[in-house]
Structure 1
Amino acid sequence: MPPVPESAWEMDTKRSRLLGRLALLCILLIQAGLSLRLRGTAFQDEALYIASGHYELANLLHGDKLPVDFAAYFSGHPKLYPVVAAVVDSQFGLTGVRLLSLLFMLGATGLLYSLTRRLFNPRAGLGAAALFSVLQSTIVLGNFATYDAAAIFLLALAAWAVVRTDRMNDLAVLLAAPPAALAFGVKYASGMYLPTLVVLAVITAHRHRGLRALVRGVALGAGIVALLGVGYVLSGPLGGISSTTTDRAKGTDTAATMLSHSAEWGGLVFLAALGGSIAYALRARMGEMPWLGAETSGRWRRVALGLVLTGTALLAPAYQIHLHTEISLYKHVGFGLLFAAPMAGLGMARLVGPHFRHPQLGILLYVLTLVFGMVQAQRAYSFPDSTQMTAYLRTVVDKKGTYLAEEQEVPAYYLRDKTDWTQWQNSYFMDYRGKDGKQYTGPDAFRQAVRDGKFDAIVMHGDVSPVTYAAVKEGLKNNSHYRLAAVFPYTTSSGEHAYRIWVKR
């Protein structure tokens, strides 16, 4: 057998960079297509953040009083992403805000490729970008007008800055502090990943500095803390940090359910990252260029890098298991996998082997991740079509009425030119003093308010607040105040449902 020629893939040449960028462009186009194929009217969270952004913007520009204290229950600062979303919404509507999320997610994938290429090589960078780009969370958040996409982009930017400055002056790592602190401000749950950035700053520089690399970690940690302190002083009280993040109310979801779903949404990429970490710990290179063997980093550094990056993928599932709640887990899984993706890309490269011996294995991993991501994203993006509902409500609402609506954020967003935020009552909680002089709370409050004819219109479908829906139906029995005015069926991944609208006679 003739000797096999050495591969140039492991060398950062002009040709390899060009091929890598062309392949990355294809990956980004596929990612954009997968996100843009999702369709739907505004989801409850999207409507909430964009609508609040309009009120926050009016408060900043004109001093208008806020209808409610959004900072008291938002899981991100209401004057950051919501304001940006409102500006875009004013010019380009909901589609424009969703496209902004797509740009954030495409940017995160591009930064992921760049930092992985610097950590390892272009082949691993392409593997990381390819796997991350087809995850369910990546696809969904690329067409979802919430602050998750912005937070992921900022974390990716901070991680890229940490890796990019590994050979620069120790204080150059402070370039990662602003995007890291801003990521926390945009979405408080991003704070879970700030320690990973600090540790990464030490590990990436240890090869060149030894123990002096600790200075980088201390500098980055201090920089982030200082910026967060300044931001907290300037922003004032932020009750949403405790109510949505640090002291969130515990739910009833089981650990087994959340582990199962986490495995469905990111298990393949996590296993690839785990395999990449083990392979990297055992051997720094695949042997394509054996003469470079002496230039690799030490085993303990390689082990630490694999543990930190791969282990970060477990943070969100572990924390939500602690809280017994699966709310937003399908999105939060993607935050951790952003950090695990470099090791997953390396794992894919090791599967393929030196000189592309087994390309079918890498293709199989990518195709499986793609298929699972497409199917799961389509299921997760299935929410009520509110087109007919909001069109009908436009004919019956005005600036004077009071309205009860399940997911009230959706009609409040679409009808903000005809109603104010405070005119809409949600279906989660209510205190009400009835006409009989008694004080009611919870379902009893909704039941009595309907009996008294408090609301000028009622919009319910029963999927979000079944207990309240049952109480409202009891209040409507033999009730001469209301008539059923319209029923608008819709279909989601959970089956057939319908909006029911009652209006006051």
Structure 2
Amino acid sequence: MSRLSLVGDGNALGHPVRTPLWRAALASFLPEAARTRADVWLARLPLAGVLLLQGIIAVRLNNTAFQDEALYIHTGHSIIDAWRGGEAIYGHPEDFFSGAPTLYPLLAAVLDSLGGLTLVRLFSALCMLSATVAVHWATNLMFGDDSRFRWTVQPGIFAALVFSLSASVLFLTNFATFDAPAFTALAWAIALGVASVRRPYTLVWAGAAGLLCALAVLLKYSSAIDVPFVFATILVTGWRAARVRAVGASVVGGLVCLAALVGSVLTWARPLLAGLGFTTTHRSSMIPQPPAHLVSQVFSWDGAPLLLILAGALVCLRRRPILVTLLVLGTVAAPAAQIRMGEATSLHKHVVLGLVIGAPLAGVALARLWRTGGGGTLATVVIAWATFLFGASQAHTMFGNWPDTTALKNELAYSIDAMPWIRMVGDTPEPVQYALQDRTENWQWTSTYDGSFFYKDKSGIDAYRAALEDNYFQLAYLDGSQQASSQLMDEMASFGFKETSVVRTPYTDHAWHIWQRFEKLD
């Protein structure tokens, strides 16, 4: 039986390892001819348990569509409708999306048509569960054959546990954006790339790793920051055992990735360059925050996994200094770049990008502790349990950070049914626009984002005032979250609008004030 398997616990070079006592005991009840096959399945049980736990915690997270989820899915529907000869795409999503609009949004729209937001989020869950498998495999490939550690339990299962139970990973496991497939592509690029230096068909798997890296970048541009670490890890991991193969795999993977990206830019992806600059390479924080505050946020979400990664780095630093340095730098590169910019938006997602690379070190830390037996085993269990409780709690908190828009949708639906062609202006319209996409057209919705609306050669607050004065809008729903809306809320009556209702979210003090046009007051 080959020990180089996705979920096996043998080492990466095919050296047999001692069968754990619990597996030997369970297999002993079976006929001798069936024991080997049963042991293969028993070896997969720990990882299956980790995946089951990750899935259960994630699907219990519940809220209406977040702004980004709604935007991507609705944009995908708009692109498909435009291709079918329907209404032209409203705006230019390639100018402000941080990933290619014709990749994930299209898939999300198809899934939404088949099963709604639940199915789109289920796709993210499958992606992140798959990423956990990739982390498990990659960890065993990188560290499982190190005889100096004499593992009693391979570190891959602990790496998978730490990765899957981090708050940010649990959050993305039930979050319908391009982050989950992009980070999963990177996780599998690492696993396949490292495996390519252990297999005879190096170029095939190295090329696959390169294509996955290119896909990750196209899905989410900021993924590019960790791509160099993928190929450097391939090179360093295989350097001691097969230097020529390691060099070949890293070079081929890098060239394939570069060729795929350059080919895309020269053909279908050329219009994406403007969005790449706006959202990624030349991005600036709209509301800068102190680095110390952002660092504290990162540790409040995923402090336990990050500390375990640091512990694993200390354990392995003397034996594998170059590899450890690469993994640590890959862990902090993406979040550090955003912290330096002072931007809090999506910071927790970039922590996941780092965990994809750094989780193997956390696995080594726990496996080393487990190996000591006695108190070490108990300490490992306590740490794993604390990580589970901390991650599950923080993920629940993160998933409740945006208001439930169910009541707002129902209130707006009533007005839309009464006046089907009503034109509306409001704060964060994407969730309700997505929820009511079968009843409205894109032109009926206007946001209050700074710099997003122009009317009669006016912009900003002056444009909204002129439009409200001219009856351009017949309904407004404002919560004061944007600068324009906070100013307009005190002026609505002067434009002939009457406040008809106040919609509050369950268990919070968040409220939308709804005004409808009646007549101009003198």
More divergent stretch after superposition (398-407 vs 106-115): 398-407
Query: Would you say the 8 A contact 2:196–2:249 is kept in 1?
Result: no
Superposed CA deviations along residues 389-448 of structure 1, whole A, max 9, x for unmatched, are 1122122226633210211111211111221223211111345446xxxx4322233234
Equivalences for residues 14-25 of structure 1 within 5 A? 18-25=41-48
Q: Shift in Å at residue 43 of structure 1? A: 1.0
Write the mapping of 1:33-432 to structure 2, written as runs, cut at 5 A.
33-62=56-85, 65-121=88-144, 123-167=154-198, 168-172=200-204, 173-210=206-243, 213-232=246-265, 233-238=267-272, 239-251=274-286, 252-282=288-318, 299=319, 302-355=320-373, 358-382=376-400, 383-397=402-416, 400-428=421-449, 429-432=451-454
- Counterparts in 2 of 1:477 and 1:59: CA distance versus 1, 3 Å: closer
TM-fit CA distance, 1:153: 1.2
8 Å contact kept, 1:67–1:421: yes
CA distance in 1, matches of 2:201, 2:117: 43
User: CA offsets per residue over residues 42-80 of structure 1, 9 Å max, x none?
Assistant: 111111000001112223454763222111110110111
Letter in 2 for 1:124: P
Distance, in Å, in 1 between the alignment partners of 2:87 and 2:192 is 39
| Identical positions, percent | 32
Q: Deviations over 1:167-194 (max 9, x none)?
A: 2344231121111111111111111111
For this pair of structures, how many residues does the alignment match? 471
1:292 is aligned to none
Alignment partners' CA distance in 2, 1:12 and 1:187: 39
CA distance in 1 between counterparts of 2:453 and 2:355 reads 42
TM-score where L is the length of structure 1: 0.88
Match of 1:498 in 2: 511
Following TM superposition, the consecutive aligned residue runs of length 4 or more in structure 1 with deviations greater than 6 angstroms are none
1:212-253 per-position Cα deviation (integer Å, ceiling 9, x unaligned): 633322221111010011122222311211111111123411
Deviations 1:88-142 (A, max 9, x none): 1001011111111111111111111122122223531110011111111111111
The aligned residue for residue 290 of structure 1 is: none
Gapped regions of structure 2 (runs ≥ 5)? 1-8, 24-38, 145-152
> Which of residues 441, 452, 458 in structure 2 aligns to 1:440?
458
The 1:212–1:154 alpha-carbon spacing in structure 2 relative to 1, beyond 3 Å, is closer
Q: List gaps (5 residues or longer) in structure 1.
A: 1-7, 283-298
Contact 1:141–1:149 (8 Å) recurs in 2: yes
Give 2:486's aligned residue.
470
Instruction: Give yes or no for the alignment of 1:487 onto 2:470.
Output: no
- Deviation digits for residues 360-412 of structure 1 (CA, Å, limit 9, x no counterpart): 22122212222221221112111211112112212222663321021111121
CA 1:448–1:491 in structure 2 vs 1: closer, same or farther (change >3 Å)?
farther
- The 8 Å contact of residues 447 and 474 in structure 1, kept in 2 or not, is answered as no
TM-score, structure 2 length as denominator? Answer: 0.85
1:148-174 Cα deviation digits (max 9, x unpaired): 111111111111111211123442311
Q: Partner letter of residue 256 of structure 1?
A: A
CA contact (8 A) 2:58 2:173 kept: yes
**C-alpha contact (below 8 Å) 2:331/2:357 kept by paired residues:** yes
Report the secondary structure of 2:227's partner residue: helix
RMSD (Å) for aligned C-alpha atoms = 2.1
